[in-house]
Structure 1
Amino acid sequence: MPKGIEHKRLRQETLDRARQLLQHMYPDGVIFGDEFCIGSIDGKKGQSLKVNLKTGVWADFNVPRHKGGDLISLRAARDNVSYAEAARRIIAEISGDSDPPPQGSLSARRADIEATVPVPAGAPSAHLPLGLPHPRHDKPGYVLTAKWAYRDGSGQLINYVARFENADQTSPKGKIAKEVLPHSFFAIAGWRWKGLGGRKKPLYGLDRLTQRPDAPVLLVEGEKTADAATDLFPDIIAVTWPGGVGQVSKADFTPLRGRSVTYCPDADAAGLRSVEEVARILMEAGVAEFKVVSLPSDLPRGWDMADDPPPGLDLRELLRNAAATAAIQRALLRDLGFEELLERLVYNVETDQFVDLRSGYRLRSAQLNNMFRHTGSKGMALRLLEDIRLRKVQRFAYIPGNEDRIVRVDDDLLVLNLWRPSNAVPQAGDAAPYERHLRYLCPTDEEFEHLANMLAFMAQHPGSKLKSAIVLIGPPGTGKSFVGHVMRRILGAHNTSNVESTDIKSDYNGYMEAKQLVIVEEVMALGRLEIMNRLKPLITQPTVRVNEKYLVAYEIENRANFIFLSNHEDALKLEDGDRRYFIVISDRAPEAPDYYDRLWAWEAQHLGVILDWLLSRDLTGFKPDARPPATEGRRRMIDAGRSDAEVLVADLVADCAAPFQHDLVELAEVRRVISDILSDGRGTTITRPALTRAMRAIGAVDLGQKKGTVSGVEVRKSLWAVRNIDRYRSMSPQALIEQYIRSLRDLDGKSKPGDAEILL
């Protein structure tokens, strides 16, 4: 015992304060009657270590050597210090005195209870060479294999976390046995194998978070995994907390407030179990968005991003598909009391949905009742609706630029505004790499200028619609997706959607709700007129009817602009008169891989520079409603999208070849001739709808069924005009029939199409 401390008195005082002291030592412990239970001497969750609150006797039944007769010996074992040192620490915590203690009284050991943060500039360097033996004698064979410096937002050193491994042992996950220890600086004792003390544990990566306030965040388990993820995804900030999933509640996640966070747990039971707790803690910390990576079920046990991915596993695709799962959102609401629900929920009358303002999760009345049935309430929805404090709105709205959640609109209705701002902030700098890549994708200066103007318009006028969509076509690997990626980050991922052609074709269009930009990857609508027809109103109309499975359909503002990406020239089936698409087709070969590595790495650090470049672009003379330039790419796409029948009809008309020697043709005769050519003697015929599409594609006009009399005989013909359209439209049915019959008689090749064929 230290000098001046009475042995029996201190033991008794620890017994008198047993509950307080034990709960301070082990925040995750539980009390059953006269026993305090915790999972291990290190504070893991569980009940194998038991402390008798009346006698102070303790023992860990999983580790026979961990036992003792009082709380002082328990503290000594936990901190791996002498009995005397443990006594000093307990006295310091009991007294709370901050003055320097005498040898016999440790009431002011404050300087050695909490580490000095940040580490003073004049402090000695930590001695952490690789191969250093484990500081505890009961860990033979463990040597230092890695260390990580934790730094604050300004880059100053907080402490280290060191990893010790024993190559001769394996963990339950089948990996090398390891132990991770904190190494902190204390004003009196210097560097010690000890945590920071009573304060919350900092995140690993705080300095990177501060440097890039608008970047998305990837949360992983462990420093090694965070470093690996940083190398894999330079556009994302990877962070972690110290101590693994068992210590997540002790970490300070407030620096993530307002950030978009994706969590990728390890592929093991503990990682999967941690999702709900991590979600709850981060939502309480105020993150703007929380998503979880759904890991394939066949991953090796314990896999993380520091391990090699199995063949065929696309890690970036995993992150892209991360989602705010309904299970997490339900769990976050399930634990709330009635008053908290009133504070968090808004009721939308139109869709009969309760909306959680924090997570965005929505529940119908019946779902809310079922969620809270365990509380004994069979009608939580009705209880809320009957309370005058519950906020109610008539419909959803999407009003970019207005940060208010509940807004009174022109028709004097209260609406719930689904728009949330982006975290992107403009920053002065040189955007040459971005401009250079746009020029690389565009064959001409005119196409570059128009593409840059369209992107700048989206940035300068959030929520305003262009009346045309961007279509970027080129070989695989040229970096087309980079354009959409940058705009997603600038506008905010929550304000954008990434979809495929199948999503456009579907009857359910939730991807259109509350979006400023929709990016359609690998669009392929050739031959699918229903897709083209669905796109027309989505690109141009000011409102859209949102239809999601099992939910009430409703109308909301349509603020979405579109970017289509494809490797194929025939991706869209365009008509000559369609003005909804700005087509850029590049034949450039992909650059070397290091070009794209540099480009993505630069963009990860300079998003604000790109935003500033877009915001500074002069849009004088740019008309968002005007027809886009008729590019060479547009002509190529129209040609590539033509069917065999359309190509054949166009060629025959251009050559004045049969059956198009004259201006007027009969559809049945055209069908016979085209079928003979296309069937190549096989006897197949072109369908009437396919033929009419081909005729309209070359500008021919259906004049309809006409009736007239020739030489006393009534004649009926379905006539089309392929030239001199306006003249034939003004002629009477009798005149058209006479003109058509005359053209049949004039097949000796002497007449030139259009000459002396009109009977006035």
Structure 2
Amino acid sequence: MEWESKVSELPVPRRVNIGIVADRALDRAAELVGAWLRDGKRESLEWVATNPTRRDKHPGSFKVNLKTGAWSDFALGDAGGDLVSLYAYLFGLRTQVEAARELAQALGLPDSEVYSDAPPALEAAKPKKSTPWAPVLPVPEDAPLMHKAHVMRGMPQRVAVYRDGAGRLLGAVMRFVTSDGGKDDVPHTFCRHEETGQTEWRWLSFPEPRPLYGLDALAARPDAPVLLVEGEKCKDVAAAHLDEFVVVSWPGGSKAVAKVDWSPLAGRRVVQWPDADCKRAPLTKAEKAEGVDPGCKPFLAAEAQPGLKAMVQIGALLAGLGCELWRLELPQVGTLPDGWDVADAFEKDGWSAEAARQFVAERQRRVDEVPVPVGVMPVTEVPAVVEAEVSAPSRLDASAALRPLLDRFALVHGKKRVFDLRHCEEMSWSAFVAFLKNDKRQADAWLAHEDSKVLMQHEVSRLKRDASERLLQQDQDFSDALQRYVYLDGSSTIWDQQLQKIISFQDLKVALGDAHKVWLNSPMRRKIDRRNLVFDPSLSADPETHINMFRGLPMAPAFPGGRAPRVRELGELVPLFPACEKIIELTMHLCDDRVEVWEWLINWLAFPLQQVGMKMSTALLMHSDVQGSGKSLLFEEVVKPIYGDYGATIDQDHLDGNFSGWRSMKLFCLFEEVTSVSERFTQSGKLKHLITGKTQLIERKFVDAWEEANHLNSVFLSNSALPFHVEASDRRMMVVWPSRKLDEDLQDAVLQEIADGGVEAFYGFLLSVPLMYARDGVRRPFGAHTKPAETRERLRLIALGLAPWEAFLVDWQQGKLGVPYGPCLAYQLYGMYHDWSLRGREKSVLPYRKFGQLVESRIGSRQVKHYRHGTAKSQATLFLPIRCPHGEVEQDWLGQYVMLFQYEARDAGWRVDEWEMYKPAPIRAVVKDGKERVAAL
């Protein structure tokens, strides 16, 4: 017939070789994937990016293997095995055939290579599944506990546990914080391997149709209205405040609406609370080329925003289920922050439950008909749910003898080696033949059978690793190791929870042996950002995201009557603590029974214990030439034990060493003789930073350096009269000089109190101290910045540390030189300094110019001035430590002081006449009114 002849003339459809296109695309994988996912970056063999097909703001959940072409969205469970399927997924093509055709054209492949003239098979082969693992719902009761952490993402920030209407576990969705501070929601389900039957927890999405989040609450309250929100966090926050509703959500966000089972909401009253998205119109190609700012584009219409768009889609689905549908009318687009939702209302905006109820009451609108806005996919066009693949029976049934071998063994790809799936062991071909009792024919039949399995080498390695991990996870020691060791992301170091210290990876390998490899690859391995390991005695760090190295002071204080007494004066407190009476007496003895000094010392010891972690801006220096005064007894045997491991005794070697690990995690340090005579000036800067620095760099051998908050308070003990240099203006140091040796009876009594719990009682005493301090007859609160008392030993220490020229000025100011402290000729003051240095046998004398500069820097003024005594007028360089009084004639006032300085210096025995040798030569002659005048320096 005519129509038959026409049909016979039609060209036979050509078959597309998808595998060939995928292989050719793989040769240019980095170039292609980089062009398709421009916001991503390469990490080893993977391309990490955001998923452009959904609301995905942070890279990490969408990855493409550039070596194999396999790709996966860990948040949704969407995946594929080659770049053709990736092309179809990203560009919305219905079939891989279409994707292969377009990709082949883009790659410029010849038709002879891409197409085959053979007619297509009568029955198209079903697409291969991306994974042989299939979720099991509900989770069996004997299943192991789900993972606490992800192998790459570490500990989750939030865990949403899904249950069915009977309360049975279905799985979870865990929220992780990404390296750039974003959020990544990853589903976690219990799965079974379709080939081996092995079961374990995997990071795979729920099977479709996916369950709602909140099914157990729906079943428990069948008559309650339903509040539908987007996201597990919103569901949890809303459920905690709005108990009149049953709050539910769904997994996967706005792009996964069609993949959810909405039937549990049938016939219910549902109120939808959409996210307040504020997306702008996309840039055109021309605008992108011109570099137009995306922020200048107008907002999309409300119905085109993702949050409302998803709710409209859901509404269309719920309408067919007989639901009474209501939806909250949000403010105009752009009024609220982008993505604002019910969780933001409570957590960021501080709404009360009543405010939220009022918002719902005022904003809810009845949805009778659900129109589909422009740009929203109609329900009829929602892609059909892809059913799980069912393995087709093989064309040739294996014999009874081969079936056990086919189920148990697999060939290793590229090698003549066999893998035992039952015992997860690899064996040579000869060993396999020997296992079959040298039946080579049976071995060859197994190898030739079409149902014999083939495993890639990486699959063999993974199965071995998984088997090893399962064995180790049953070992209590390894289970303890997973909890004990925490990887510090961004470094090569680990936090040891048991030892409470940072260790190197080499230390971990020694501790775990071969098991360290399993620990390294275990999804249960704990991980935190290195910056989130902190030493925070104030306990203000969030325990959900941080590890605090501080675990609290180890000692329990002892109070009379079991509670801290409340008094207003320190003197009232002492009789209430008889258990540490002698220890308190020891503190008074070290202060030479001076009440003002003792009260300052007790307040300084008490403040950082009452406010743990408080950094004092002062340190205590207790030094004396008296051996056995009891300094070490108080601070080594009484104070330091209160701090336990957070206290330390430091010597000169610690301070001079290249490493500073001894400072880490310390609240109290006792420095014993840390400075020698030659280093008392060079160590000054380091000690100042220890006392007042806010942070400190911690360096330990074989471990990455890190910065840590400085909560260290310091006590320096010395038997030297000049342990280190203290400047007159420096207010960091409280100086105490015990002048008496400790009585043996008091020493024995203190030791007995320590043995009988006196340290615990003294700790209770310090916690009860009213933090008040008297100075100049006025009582004031004692705080971290209270200045030290101006003790006589502090003044003596300052004087001992003065440079010779500074000591000379102090003697002049205090009238010890026999001359008035006032204006004087510069050369005469230098002459007196020279004589003073010779009398004191100083090793070196400053030259005239340097002396003048230093003195000027201290007293503030050196000028050329006219001065007059009687009728004689002169001009010279003078030091002016004081100003001319108001009402005086400056020239006469200066002249009186200059002559008085000269007369009294001669009377005091100074060699005034020899000072003329220091008088500088005139530098110029000034002619005025015909007379020559000399201007001197």
Please state which band the TM-score falls in when normalised by the shorter chain.
0.3 to 0.5
TM-score (norm 1): 0.44
| Structure possessing the higher radius of gyration over alpha carbons | 2
TM-score (norm 2): 0.36
